[in-house]
Amino acid sequence: MTLHAPYDASNIFNKILRGEMPCVKVFEDEVALALMDVFPQVEGHTLVIPKQVEARNFLDMPEAKLGDYMLRVQKVTRAVEAGLKPDGIRVIQFNGAPAGQTVYHLHFHIMPIFDGVKPGAHASGGMKSAADLEPVAARIRAGF
């Protein structure tokens, strides 16, 4: 898929935002939704998606909404740190298929990194159930 294309409202994240698909929520307000990645590269892999925008990627995000959204990305990153106590944290965002983007609704990946634990490849791990993800989500929620 090209870097610039029309927004497809049928993408999985928009379905989640509309309540058509379930997710394990970590945080939600009027600006963003943070949820557990069902294909985690590491334990605690969290996604932060903006609400009320049709932005396929970072380049499409309206400037007027960018600051508030980025504050939510930082807030969730801090909760991941507080709840999981990792040795490091990756905050990653992909733009376009050649860069690794697989869902065309802007989102940031927050991945806690632990010494000696190698993260899996993007979009290559097995799918986790809500029951598997909920205990980790609870630890992150406790970090707010």
Percent of the chain with pLDDT strictly greater than 90: 92
Q: pLDDT digit string (tens) for 39-76?
A: 999 999 999 999 999 999 999 999 999 999 999 999 99
CATH of the domain at 123: 3.30.428.10
Distance CA 144, CA 37 (A): 19
Q: With respect to residue 94, please indicate whether it lies within any of the assigned structural domains.
A: yes
- Mean pLDDT over residues 84-105, rounded? 96
Domain that holds residue 92: 12-141
For residue 140, give Cα distances in angstroms to 1, 38, 46, 106: 33, 15, 9, 22
Residue 33 lies in a domain: yes
Measured CA to CA, the distance from residue 16 to residue 21 in angstroms comes to 5
In a domain, 54, yes or no: yes
Residue 4 included in any domain: no
Q: How is residue 69 written in tokens?
A: 């959204």
The answer to whether residue 17 sits within a structural domain is yes
Evaluate if residue 138 carries a pLDDT over 80. Answer: yes
Enzyme catalytic residues: 107
Over residues 91-100, the pLDDT tens digits come to: 999 999 999 9
Does the residue 137 lie in any domain? yes
- Tell me if 6 is assigned to some domain: no
Statement: residue 122 has pLDDT above 70: yes
